Amino acid sequence: MTFRESAVRVLGVDPGLTRCGLGVVDGAPGRPLTMTGAGVLCTPADADLGHRLLLIECGIERWLDEYQPEAVAVERVSSRYNVRTVMGTAQASAVAILCAARRGLPVTWHTSSEVKTAVTGGGGAGKARVGATVTRLLRLDAPPEPADAADALALAICHIWRAPALNRLQQAHVAARPAPAPARLRKGTIR
């Protein structure tokens, strides 16, 4: 294992049914970060749910084709919003996860407070502070607009900075787990 991790390209997804933020960042812990792309997929609020999800899928697929990320970071759905908002966010999240899974890309979920803490140092940071910090970290001239794009970039940054530690923790957990007992089949249980 080297002291410095190798650079990775991450697609951050700030899921939403009306506005789904997407951001692609290249970088590694301890190295400068580079924004490769940022934008928002929008769907018409009056369209059929299936059509809206299809629009999100097609948009994410285009981004995956164009940017070829090595990992996808998705904001974990929070229950602090109303049920309707949570449902739309969860549905858009599922589409992003499905698109990544089709390509064999690893997906990691980060809560909003994890992202804000990683990027700004405070889990209660507002959208303006997240946008300003993302602008500074990526050396941009202005904050990405709309805020959903900045949030997606923050997700990608959080993943780049946290993934190596999370991977090491997961490996340690797997190594410490006792070996499973051999499975026993009882007669007549298989049909």
Mode of pairing for the β-strands spanning 34-42 and 71-75: unpaired
Q: Is the backbone peptide bond immediately before 180 cis, with ω within 30 degrees of 0?
A: no
DSSP state of 71: E
Give the Cα separation of 61 and 49 in Å (integer). Answer: 18
List residues with catalytic annotation.
14, 75, 148
Give the Cα separation of 90 and 32 in Å (integer). Answer: 32
Mode of pairing for the β-strands spanning 19-27 and 34-42: antiparallel
Which DSSP string do the residues of 91-114 spell out, in sequence order? HHHHHHHHHHHHTT--EEEE-HHH
Kind and range of the H or E run holding 152 = helix 147-176
Give the Cα separation of 179 and 191 in Å (integer). Answer: 28
Residue type, 29: P
